[in-house]
Amino acid sequence: MDGVSWSARAGETVCLLGHSGCGKTTLLRLIAGVERPDSGSIHIDGEAMSTPSRFVPAERRRVGMVFQDYALFPHLDVLRNVMFGLHEGTRAQRAARAQAALDRVGLAARAHHYPHMLSGGEQQRVALARALAPAPRVLLMDEPFSNLDRRLRDRVRDDTMALLREAGITAVVVTHDPQEALCIADRIVLMHGGRVEQDAPPQMLYRQPASLFAARFFSVLNEIPGEVRGGRIDTALGSFDAAGLSDGPAVVGLRPRDIVTASDGVAGTVTDTLFLGDLTQLRVRIAGHALPLTLHLPAPPTVRPGQVVHLRADEAAALRFPASPNV
Amino acid sequence: MHSGRGWSFASLLVAALVLLPLIALGAAALRGDASLWPHLLQHVLPPTLHQTALLLLGVGALVIVVGTGSAWLVSAYDFRGRALLDWALLLPLAVPTYIVAYAYMDLLHPIGPLQSGLRAVLGIDSPRDLRLPDIRSLGGCIFVLGFVLYPYVYLTTRALFLMQSATLIEAARTLGAGPRTVFVRVALPLARPAVAVGASLALMETINDIGASEFLGVRTLTISIYSTWVNRADLAGAAQIALAMLAVVAALLLIERRGRRSQRYNTAAQRARPMTPTRLSGAAGVAAFALGSVPVLLGFVAPALYLVERSIARLRFAGLPPSLLDATLNTVATAAAATVVIVALGVTVTYAARVAPGPLAQASARIAGLGYAVPGTVLAIGLLAPLGAFDRWAGDLIEGFVGGSIGLLTLGSGAALIYAYAARFLAVSAGGIESGFARIAPSIDHAARTLGETAGGVLRRVHLPMLRPALAAAALLVFVDCMKELPATLLLRPLDFETLATTLYGEAARGTYEDGAVAALIIVLAGLLPVLLLARVGRRAAETLP
């Protein structure tokens, strides 16, 4: 990890997004204090947690963490799992607070079950209740929904995020799923090879990615090489405003929805069609571009492979990058 | 499947061989004078049971404290010398209990090196003015057995700490638990099944022990069985006490089995990443190393150094004891013969469970594996009657044919010894071979069978070559176990037949320590081999963890 710097505002949900091995989980573990950084510093609420001269161990940081495998203590029942982090007050008071935390996640009735008796979704909620019960200053979540099956995942995710926003909790969530990051984050820190690729709100990251890597991360991207000359980029799919790029080779990125069929467009041959339910995916080969372009059309398929269609790009949505050989 | 049936029959036969001494034991106990029971119940059993119970309690507590403490130390902390301690903590396993007791008796003797040294330092002249607690006591015996047997607990809990998901520890820490709380409230409760397994194994060894308790003057059940037979020639009485002892063993076995069952459930955590130890540097690191060295020093280094020193003294003074060569040859010959038999039986039992799976094969494998829990003395007493009867019958038969006496066929030839070793150590070989088999995919068998090979042919041409490392490891473990075995050897060896272990026992009984030291040293050196193997396997297992 190298030169990573960002901060979260109070009450904000920040997503650390990236492919596996990009350093996002390590970063989370550094914040939690279960791992020690070689250099750099970490502050929570303005208080130094980790600097070259000071290291606050995990148990004194007052952070809450939800682990990917939930890490529920198998020898304790649900209530005692939640009570584990509560240190103040009598036993009865602590039990009452744990019970209240379970109530918030809708698991009050499961207090005396053991972790292995719960479903995956319930285990996730216990882990959340346990992390939140001691009122942490920041909640860290490591791929918290990845162990749930897809249908359950959406519901648990919505419930979790509603709970966090309602309670105004500052959260840092690690995920590798771009869709998940887009829908839960107030801000996404996109990581790549131990560095921050871009740090921006979801809409901005999607609409104005800072690099080809960031643009590719959120969907299939048609990358059409071109040449900037006199403020325009000329490509096989027409000419685009260069938007300040200097003369030389460049790449225009178009998401599948940003290419449409139009009678006055560039002619191309359909190589295959794929019915995706809500959308139809077309792959179209055009002259002067090696790879077929991918399009998502809202209608059911009316064209067949071999047919000729005419394409036009949505210039406003086009992403422009200077061509660089190594991305 | 025809050949499958042959294998399960063979497996059943092995199970019967293991069960025979136990059944014979019951029969012998019943055959005894019924009027003996009240005497036994009133005068013999209460004091020995009391002593045995105290010994088990003390050893149990000590092995648990030392075993889990040292396992946690090398699992949760990283300090200079940790890698060394990690395997050095296993070293006491190399020394049989009777040898450590033997060494400490002399080391701590009022005119032994430790007390003399202390007196010299303190400037005291007479042994009477400096009284240390006598090693020949229940407390001394607990101390000796505890520091030799703690590796059983260390081994099982260390393995569990390595498998335990690090996220559990980290979760506890983010919830505000410091290192001590993590140990007491998370790591230890989770390790409980492993502690139970390790402690029950250590206690089975305690019950099996004959040398340490005898040298140190603790009258355990084992001792009273032994003396009932050897001094009073009362087989029925010995068998009756042995039955009482089996009840204790059954309780330990139950604890162990239950521990193993719940262990599986507690470590079901997925994709467990082992915990990252906390780095201790400077004085804290030195203190951790010093603390972790104590069990190694007490359980291995001190007695081993003593044996080396004594052996050198003896060699300088009078050369090798003449009887030592005989004893060594006897030991190696019986242990080697037993190893061949035991490994073959182990293959039979495990292979039967593979080619003819089902309740029958499973039950025979289970029964065949029970022997490790049966103390050597009990096994020997159980074997005396049936083997004696067999010898008489075979002797008469052969005499009828050839007209001369051939003596005792099994008890006189050492075959009885091999039988006892096989019954006792079959579990050791079967366990190792089974884990070797588990690594061979069933599709390999199916491939060989569809190519026209029989079950026996598959074993010979496919499995055995693939199993070679597992077989070698099993053979080594069994060989060394046989070499160290004392209680059954004492009772079943042919007349005037001395092994290294019995030589040592005899010298200790006579109080001629030096003469036994060389024999003891040879046993310890042999005992080091499986410990090194174990340490290597453990390290490799730790490395292959994700």
One domain, residues A87 and A192: yes
* Inside any domain, residue B468: yes
Tally of domains in chain A: 2
The CA distance from A192 to the nearest CA of chain B, in Å, is 23
Across the interface, of A64, A74, A85, the residue whose CB is closest to B190 is A74
Cβ-contact B264, B69 below 8 angstroms: no
One domain, residues A113 and A135: yes
How buried is B396 (Cβ within 10 angstroms: 0-12 exposed, 13-18 middle, 19+ buried)? exposed
CA nearest to A71 within chain B? B168
A71–B171 C-beta distance less than 8 A: yes
Concatenating the DSSP letter of every residue in A15-30 gives EEE--TTSSHHHHHHH
C-alpha span between A95 and B480 (Å, rounded): 55
Residue type, A294: T
* Inside any domain, residue B126: no
One domain, residues A209 and A236: no
One domain, residues B198 and B325: no
How buried is B368 (Cβ within 10 angstroms: 0-12 exposed, 13-18 middle, 19+ buried)? buried
- Is A74 touching B (CB cutoff 8 A)? yes
Q: Which of A179, A196, A214 is the last residue of a domain?
A: A214
Checking ipTM against 0.85, whether it exceeds it is no
Residue where the block lists tokens 């390999």: B444
Q: Which of B284, B318, B352 is the last residue of a domain?
A: B318
One domain, residues A259 and A201: no
Q: Which of B269, B299, B318 is the last residue of a domain?
A: B318
One domain, residues B5 and B53: no
The interface residues of chain A toward chain B in range 96-135, judged by CB-CB distance below 8 A, are 116, 130-131, 134
The CA distance from B84 to the nearest CA of chain A, in Å, is 25
> If you count DSSP H runs as helices and E runs as strands, how many of each does chain B have, helices first?
25, 2
Q: Is B277 helix (H, G, I), strand (E, B) or coil?
A: coil
* Inside any domain, residue B368: yes
Does the pLDDT of residue B266 top 70, yes or no? Answer: no
Domain harbouring A207, CATH code: 3.40.50.300
DSSP H/E element including A121: helix A120-132
Cβ-contact B369, B346 below 8 angstroms: no
- Is B456 touching A (CB cutoff 8 A)? no
Angle subtended by helix axes A120-132 and A91-104, to nearest 10: 130
C-alpha span between B115 and B131 (Å, rounded): 9
Q: Which of A214, A241, A257 is the last residue of a domain?
A: A214
pLDDT tens sequence across A222-278? 999 998 988 899 888 888 988 778 888 999 999 999 998 888 888 999 999 988 888
Q: Is A221 helix (H, G, I), strand (E, B) or coil?
A: coil
Tally of domains in chain B: 2
User: Residue B464 contacts by C-beta under 8 Å, 6 or more apart in sequence?
Assistant: B347, B471
List b or e across A199-237, with b for residues whose CB sees 16 or more CB atoms inside 10 angstroms.
Answer: bbebeebbeebebbbbbebbbebbbbebebeeeebbbbb
pLDDT tens sequence across B386-430? 998 888 888 888 888 877 777 777 888 889 999 999 999 998 898
Does the pLDDT of residue B271 top 70, yes or no? Answer: no
The CA distance from B186 to the nearest CA of chain A, in Å, is 7
One domain, residues A51 and A174: yes
Indicate which of A44, A65, A69 best probes the interface with B, i.e. most B CBs within 10 Å of its own CB.
A69
Domain harbouring A270, CATH code: 2.40.50.140
* Inside any domain, residue A21: yes
One domain, residues A270 and A156: no
The CA distance from B167 to the nearest CA of chain A, in Å, is 6
* Inside any domain, residue A205: yes
CA nearest to A31 within chain B? B174
Does the pLDDT of residue A327 top 50, yes or no? Answer: no
Structural domain boundaries enclosing A231: 220-322
CA nearest to B175 within chain A? A85
Domain harbouring B342, CATH code: 1.10.3720.10
Cβ-contact B228, B160 below 8 angstroms: no
One domain, residues B304 and B325: no
Total-model pTM: 0.80
- Is B168 touching A (CB cutoff 8 A)? yes
CA angle A322, A324, A327 (to 5 degrees): 115
One domain, residues B18 and B39: no
C-alpha span between A168 and A164 (Å, rounded): 6
One domain, residues B199 and B327: no
Across the interface, of A34, A71, A130, the residue whose CB is closest to B165 is A71
* Inside any domain, residue A190: yes
One domain, residues A141 and A260: no
Q: Which of A164, A192, A214 is the last residue of a domain?
A: A214
User: Residue B73 contacts by C-beta under 8 Å, 6 or more apart in sequence?
Assistant: B85, B288, B291, B292
Average of per-residue pLDDT across B287-305: 95
B270–A69 C-beta distance less than 8 A: yes
One domain, residues B222 and B326: no
One domain, residues A243 and A311: yes
Compute CA B378 distance to the chain's CA centroid, rounded to the nearest angstrom: 15
- Is A73 touching B (CB cutoff 8 A)? yes
Q: Residue A103's pLDDT band (boundaries 50, 70, 90)?
A: very high
pLDDT tens sequence across B458-476? 888 889 988 888 898 889 8
CA nearest to B176 within chain A? A59
* Inside any domain, residue B132: no
One domain, residues B85 and B18: no
- Is A55 touching B (CB cutoff 8 A)? no
pLDDT tens sequence across B26-61? 888 887 666 667 777 777 788 888 999 999 999 999
Indicate which of A31, A44, A67 best probes the interface with B, i.e. most B CBs within 10 Å of its own CB.
A67
Query: What pLDDT, on the 0 to 100 scale, is given for residue B545?
Result: 42
Does the pLDDT of residue B544 top 60, yes or no? Answer: no
Rounded to a whole number, what is the distance in angstroms from the first to the last CA of chain A? 19
List b or e across A131-147, with b for residues whose CB sees 16 or more CB atoms inside 10 angstroms.
Answer: bbbbebbbbbbbbbbeb
Residue where the block lists tokens 């319930």: A122
A84–B175 C-beta distance less than 8 A: yes
C-alpha span between A40 and A300 (Å, rounded): 54
Residue type, B122: L
Domain harbouring B82, CATH code: 1.10.3720
From the CB of residue B545, how many other CB atoms can be counted at a distance below 10 Å?
10
One domain, residues B348 and B424: yes
One domain, residues A187 and A239: no
* Inside any domain, residue A270: yes
Structural domain boundaries enclosing B72: 32-97+146-318
Q: Which of B298, B318, B338 is the last residue of a domain?
A: B318
Average of per-residue pLDDT across A133-143: 93
pLDDT tens sequence across B86-136? 989 999 988 999 999 988 988 887 777 777 777 777 777 776 666 677 788
One domain, residues A188 and A261: no
A65 contacts in chain B (CB < 8 Å) = 170-171, 174
One domain, residues A87 and A195: yes
Does the pLDDT of residue A132 top 70, yes or no? Answer: yes
